[in-house]
Amino acid sequence: MKKLHTIALFGGTFDPVHFGHLRMALELREALGVDEMRILPSRQPRHRESPGVSAEHRRQMLALALAGGGELQLDERELLRPGPTYTVDTLEELRGELGEEVSISFCMGLDSLLTLPNWHRWERLLELAHLVVVARPGWRLPGEGEVAELLERQGGGVGQLHREPCGRLVVREQTLLPISATDIRQLIAAGRSPRYLLPDAVLEYIENNQLYRTATESGP
Ligand SMILES: Nc1ncnc2c1ncn2[C@@H]1O[C@H](COP(=O)(O)OP(=O)(O)OP(=O)(O)O)[C@@H](O)[C@H]1O
Ligand SMILES: O=C(O)c1ccc[n+]([C@@H]2O[C@H](COP(=O)([O-])O)[C@@H](O)[C@H]2O)c1
């Protein structure tokens, strides 16, 4: 069977981007052997509090983090789309642009997979893309419920991501760096330094723009 062009998407709020995100995306790119790994910041996720800083600040921090390395690309479409951000809208837009002969994989953590039945039009997601789930070593997959049924029906291996355009649920075990954006925001608000948890250029941007000094910020 023909090998397809493969694109993977790594979505999140990136408030701010840190080395946990960057290492995860790079390791996934290599493990999946995809042609493109795109970082996909969301503008206004419905399932969580509004981001601490504006879409423009988050975009600029990501651009700084990704500058210089060619392995990860920034896909800004969700930041540019007004209103709440739904993954299904993004995948429909991408599928419209790329056609049926390209493989699209949406990557998420196991914690996100467990919430999948609450996502907007979630049954449509696998008609548009594969889902790649990253599980920390030792984590257990659900044994029953809608997600377990999906795994049973549509589970697959990495090879299928290269031969089929969508429809597989692939689980990968991967170690995560113990870094969270919440911790970084809290460190800064407490007057402490988050250096070595995120790229220096991002830290410099945060300092120059005085971001995260209080619990919530807004920006340009
Ligand atoms: N330390 C980490 N290592 C690898 N992946 C991570 C890490 N932290 C978050 N992710 C993943 O990165 C994506 C984007 O996450 P998100 O922007 O919510 O980051 P976060 O650090 O968890 O933020 P917050 O603390 O604000 O919830 C999600 O798919 C999430 O599972
Ligand atoms: O479309 C939805 O309903 C939906 C619900 C929860 C999460 N998502 C997406 O999942 C990705 C990870 O989100 P997060 O904020 O939980 O780390 C990000 O790209 C979100 O837009 C999407």
Q: 45 C-alpha vs ligand 2 centroid, how far in Å?
A: 6
Q: Does residue 62 fall inside a structural domain?
A: yes
Q: Does residue 186 fall inside a structural domain?
A: no
Quickly state the pLDDT bin for 185 (edges 50, 70, 90): very high
Q: Does residue 168 fall inside a structural domain?
A: yes
Q: 106 C-alpha vs ligand 1 centroid, how far in Å?
A: 14
Quickly state the pLDDT bin for 45 (edges 50, 70, 90): confident
Number of separate domains in the chain: 1
148 phi and psi angles, rounded to 5 deg? -60, -40
Q: Which domain holds residue 107?
A: 5-177
Average the pLDDT over 15-35 and give the result.
Answer: 97
Percentage above 70 pLDDT, the chain: 96
DSSP code at position 126? H
Return the SS3 of 49.
Answer: coil
pLDDT at 48: 66
Average the pLDDT over 20-46 and give the result.
Answer: 94
Q: Does residue 204 fall inside a structural domain?
A: no
Report the CATH number at residue 27.
Answer: 3.40.50.620
Query: Hey, what amino acid is at 93?
Result: E
- Which ligand lies nearest the alpha carbon of 45? 2
Around ligand 2, the residues with Cβ closer than 6 Å are: 11-13, 40, 42, 45, 47-48, 85-88, 108, 112, 119-120
Do 54 and 212 form a contact (C-beta atoms < 8 A)?
no
Burial class from Cβ neighbours inside 10 Å (0-12, 13-18, 19+) for residue 42 reads buried
Around ligand 1, the residues with Cβ closer than 6 Å are: 12-15, 20-21, 24, 108-109, 112, 176-177, 179-182
Average the pLDDT over 210-214 and give the result.
Answer: 94
Q: Report the mean per-residue pLDDT for the chain.
A: 92
Quickly state the pLDDT bin for 24 (edges 50, 70, 90): very high
Q: Does residue 148 fall inside a structural domain?
A: yes
Q: Does residue 215 fall inside a structural domain?
A: no
pLDDT of 85 strictly over 50: yes
Do 104 and 129 form a contact (C-beta atoms < 8 A)?
yes
Return the SS3 of 164.
Answer: coil
Quickly state the pLDDT bin for 47 (edges 50, 70, 90): low
Q: Does residue 192 fall inside a structural domain?
A: no
pLDDT of 99 strictly over 70: yes
Please give the ipTM for the structure prediction. Answer: 0.96
Q: Does residue 21 fall inside a structural domain?
A: yes
Average the pLDDT over 143-147 and give the result.
Answer: 88
Quickly state the pLDDT bin for 218 (edges 50, 70, 90): very low
pLDDT of 220 strictly over 60: no
pLDDT of 32 strictly over 90: yes
161-184 pLDDT tens trace: 999 999 999 999 998 999 999 999
Query: What's the rounded Cα separation, in Å, for the pair 143 and 185?
Result: 35
Average the pLDDT over 57-80 and give the result.
Answer: 96
Average the pLDDT over 195-220 and give the result.
Answer: 86
pLDDT of 215 strictly over 70: no
Smallest CA separation from ligand 1 atom 23, residue: 181
